[in-house]
Each structure stands twice: as C-alpha cells, then as structure tokens.
A and B are shown apart, each in its own frame.
Chain A
Amino acid sequence: MPAQPISDTSVPLSPTFTPPADPRPAAAGAKTVLQADDIARVLDRIAHQILEKTSGGDGVVLLGIPTRGEPLAHRLAERIATFAGVRVGLGSLDITLYRDDLRTQASRPLGRTVEPAGGVDGKLVILVDDVLFSGRTVRAALDALTDLGRPRAVQLAVLVDRGHRELPIRADYVGKNLPTSAEEQVRVRLAETDGVDEVSIHAGAAGTARAGGPA
C-alpha cells in the first residue's frame, strides 16, 4: 500500500487497490545507473527546481501517473513541504483509458485517478512520471487532464528521460538524461512498489523492439 498522501484527497482509497510490483525477472547484462542515494539527490534537486520555477509552489498540484509516478509525486510533495513549508495539491492521474492503443492490446487493469482537494481548475499541474520515452503516455495524460478540469498551465517532471520521442513533448524537470538505444529496457524500481530504489538499463529481450517502461 502506498503511504497516505500528505494532502487531502477527495475520494477514499479503495481497500482493495494495491499497485502491482514489477514481475519481470532481472535480465542478464543489467547496468545500474541510479542507486537509492542518487535518486534521493535527484528528487531533492527537482523539488528545488519546482520551487524556483513556480515562485514558491503557489497554486501547484502534483499529479503522479500510475504506477510509479504516484510515489514519486508523493516524495516530491514531501520535499517541497520540508524545504519551503508549502503544502502542494497531490493526486494521481490514470491514463489507461486514454491510451492510443486500446484496440490492439488486451484490456489492462485501471490505475487510480485521485483529484486533490482543491481540484485542478486554475492550478499549475505538474505531471510526474518515472520514465519519459515516446511521449505517448504524456499525450494521454494531457487528454485525461482536460476531462478533469482546466489547469492554468501544465508542466512535466520525470525521473529519467531516455530519448526516442515520437511526439513533440518535452519535460520541464528531468532527474537524469539517459541515452539509450531503442532495444534497451529501462527499469525503474521504487521502495514503495518494488522494495528498493534503483534505475537500471538492460539489454533488450529478443523480439521486443520497443521494450522499456511506460513512456
């Protein structure tokens, strides 16, 4: 179970929802690029950058994209509170039903969409995700956000940018730029979901041209 968000949430958490752990076995030839303390430092920096760029976090809402965007958003919100004493809005935005590949993939389980108490209208929404890849996830998130309300502006924070964009999308806050080849897999593990903090790169599995975390 993820830790309780530190701001009010408008919808009670379902007693049955648990985010799934990554079941993929460790592939051979893995290279760790970020360890736990690296990730902590990176998140510290992003939090400071957010405070700087948003003039103190006023009217800011962090929406984590499930699965791993959620705990990342939570950690950022904690840091912002610690560094500046500001409580930003915190929630999650599930994009499963906005994907552009619904017809070609079997149905996926849905993640949680939780609006922060103040909603998103007129707010500066910062989408938070673990990996930025093709940009399609963010495209879907923008559509989902439109159905939620009308923010005054939208920004994007990611832990890792691995390149290979297929849409004109860029992140405002990047933890680490990670040049990868399209066949490689980037694997993000977080304590809240996988028991450990680690970002690693793996050689692609045979036949998977576009392996990698959701982008």
Chain B
Amino acid sequence: MTRHLLSAADLDAAGAYEILNSAEQMDAIQHRQVKKLPALRGRTVVNLFFEDSTRTRSSFEIAGKWLSADVVNVSAKGSSVSKGESLRDTALTVAALGVDALVIRHPSSGAAHRVTEWVDCPVINAGDGTHEHPTQALLDAFTLRRRLGELAGRHIVIVGDLTHSRVARSNVLLLGLLGAQVTLVAPPTLMPAGVHTWNCSTSWDLDATLAGKVAGDVDAVMMLRVQRERMGTGSSGGGRAAVGYFPTEREYAIGYGLSPARLDLLPEHAPVLHPGPMNRGLEISSIAADSPRSLVLDQVRAGVAVRMAVLYHLMAGADEGSGRTGTTGEPHPAAVHA
C-alpha cells in the first residue's frame, strides 16, 4: 500500500481494490448501534485545511472518529502566504504536535507533495488546487461499483470545467486503473492542456457522446461543477471585466448542461453523479439532480466509508519492523505481502 495518498496514481490496481473492498465492510458500520471500530484507537489525525470545505472535512472527521482516532481540525486559512508564514513552517508546527496522519486541503496544486518533504507521517491529499482529489475519486468509484458492479470495461463520461477540476484528474486516473473507459466532454476553453496524452477520449459534443456515438454506449455520467466566476459575465472590481471561458451561463447550459432531454439519451441503467455542490440549472438540471438515476447522496454517504478505509490502510503498520511482539499468529494468508 502506498505511504501517502497524494494522487490516484499512487495506488496500483491491487491497492485500489483493497481500499474499495474495505470500504464495503466499513460502510456497514453506519447501520450499527455502536458506530465505532477500534482500528485507530490512540492515534491522532489532523485535518489541516487551508481552504474552506465543510463537506470534505466533516467526512474525514467522522471517518477518523468512527475508527476511534482522535481527530483535530486545524483551519490554516489565515496563516498562509498572506501572513508571511511559509507552508513549511505551518506543516512543521502542526506535525510537532505529534500527529499520526495529516489530511491536507490547499488552494495550490502540489501543496500536499511539498508537505511530505517535511513531515514523517502519512499525508492524505484532500484536494490540492486544481491538481487532484484522490478520495473523491475513490468514493465515486465505490458508488459506481455498487450500482454497476465491476467497472472494468464500463464507459464513464465526465463533463464540465475540466481545466480547473481536481476531481476530473483523479477520476481519469482511478477509473483507468480499474479498467474503465473514460470520455471527457467540455468546450475547448475548458479542456486541460495536454489532455490528448491522458488515458481517455475527449469530445466537444455532449449529445453525441451520451447517445453513444463518440466512444460507445455510456454506463454513467459524472457532471462537474462549473464555477460561475469562470463565465464571462463577471467583472473584477474596478477596471476591465475578466474574460470568461464561456460567454454566458445560458449558452453553457444549452451546450453542456444535463438537461432532461440529455438524461433520456442515456441507457436505462446509467446513473448520474456529481461531486457537489451543484449549480442547479447550470451544469445539471433539477430534474436530473433529483431523478432516480442520481447517486449524489450515495456519493456523500460513500465518502465516510471510503475515507475510513483510506485512513485504516495508510495508518496500519506504522510501527512495522519496530520489533513489538504480540501478534495474532501468522499474517492472514491472503495478505501475502504482509
């Protein structure tokens, strides 16, 4: 298992399946009276968030607590570059408190990478700039797997502001690892640089893609949030208006929104995903968001189970090779690597 989870590419197929399978088991805890597993008892997990995110942070917090860890939330939003404290100083200060794992969210790509240079414990990337959000990809895969079964050979379409989406990057990597085929759909101005080298197809035509005419029949569609600031309608304080990536919300919705008509293009079995928060009427119509195909709430529920699995797998074996005894016999025969 990888030491840190900074990118979906840190996992190999075996590791990804291990996490997803463990998440299946941990998901059951939600129905129990005693929502506690002792796996991380006595360990401390710090959520070091340089960017607001109630949803992701609470998800990690619950995940840690249900595994009996002590969870500390540190909001470093004010103590960043603007106040002159370097990222290194912030990371070292928190690590000096004695943490067993760091969960980091930061507005700049690669921030989690840098932190691994300075701290000893496992680091989990909860979203860095426009780079990656690996636990989101894992919970998306978990949700899809429950609905569709194994993802090998399945065709997943991802639509939206791909240039600025860390969710898209992580999903392309993880779905590819699990053997799925991915098609990215966006207007040219929202396609990432170098996307032609990625392990996916691309298209500017959402209708043709959903109808199966671009890369074959579609098994699921994932709509990504389009930030309104990216539109051309905004203007920055004094001076020139910012040139948008797209002229108006209306034109975006017409070309790339998941309208009821587009919903009907999908095969019956194909679900709709969205990492949230949703801009109803922009990238996703209310009809689509509330339809029986929508797995949006399942994704949220999956978040806790998946993050529990990630915390467990990354934090186990911290004292490996320390010479401590008291084992429960030989390692599980299936864990040949142990």
- Checking A24, A109, A212, A215 against B21 with a beta-carbon cut-off of 8 angstroms, the contacting residue is A109
Are B328 and A11 interface neighbours, CB within 8 A?
Answer: no
B9 interface hit (Cβ, 8 Å): no
B21 to A110, Cβ gap below 8 A? Answer: yes
* Contact call B149/A109, Cβ cutoff below 8 A: no
Q: CB-CB < 8 A to B314: which residues of A?
A: 107
Number of chain A residues whose Cβ lies closer than 8 Å to a Cβ of chain B = 49
**What 0/1 pattern do residues 1 to 16 of A give for CB contact below 8 A with B?**
0000000001100111
6 sampled A-B residue pairs with Cβ under 8 A: A17-B24, A20-B334, A108-B332, A109-B332, A109-B334, A146-B34
Once the chains bind, are A104 and B324 in contact (CB under 8 Å)? Answer: yes
Q: Which of the four size classes fits the interface of chain B?
A: 35 or more
Instruction: Give the interface segment out of B35-43, B77-85, B128-136, B248-256.
Output: B35-43
Known: A11-B31, A103-B317, A109-B21. 19 other contacts (CB 8 A): A14-B21, A15-B149, A17-B21, A20-B332, A97-B37, A98-B38, A102-B39, A103-B316, A106-B316, A106-B317, A106-B338, A108-B332, A109-B18, A109-B22, A133-B329, A136-B326, A210-B327, A210-B330, A212-B330
Residue of A nearest to B332 (CB): A108
A52 close to chain B: CB less than 8 A: no
CB B84 to nearest CB in A, in angstroms, measures 38
Within 8 A of A (CB), among B63-98: 67
In the bound complex, do residue A104 and residue B39 qualify as a contact, i.e. CB atoms below 8 Å apart? no
B318 touches A147 (CB 8 A): no
Smallest distance from the beta carbon of A176 to chain B beta carbons, Å? Answer: 18
CB < 8 Å neighbour of B24 from A16, A103, A133, A143: A16
Give the residue name and chain of the A residue nearest to B334 (CB): A20
A86 interfacial contact with B, CB 8 Å = no
What per-residue 1/0 map shows which CB atoms of A126-148 lie under 8 Å from chain B? Answer: 00000001101100100100111
Among B18, B24, B150, B328, chain A packs the most CB atoms within 10 A around the CB of B328
Nearest CB in chain A: distance from B75 CB, A:
29
| Interface assignment of B336: CB less than 8 Å from any CB of chain A | yes
Q: Does B240 touch A at the CB level, under 8 Å?
A: no
Q: Write the nearest CB–CB distance from A81 to chain B, whole angstroms.
A: 26
Nearest to A102 among chain B residues (CB) is B316
A105: interface (CB < 8 Å): yes
Q: Are B25 and A112 in contact, CB atoms less than 8 angstroms apart?
A: yes
CB distance from B136 to the nearest CB of A (A): 21
Query: A122 contacts the other chain (Cβ, under 8 Å)?
Result: no
Contacts of B332 in A (CB 8 A): 20, 67, 96, 108-109, 214
Asked whether A111 lies within 8 Å of B25 as measured between CB atoms, the reply is: yes
Q: How far apart sit A102 and B332, CA to CA, in the bound complex (Å)?
A: 12
Within residues 305 to 338 of chain B, which ones have a CB less than 8 A from any CB in chain A? 312-314, 316-322, 324, 326-338
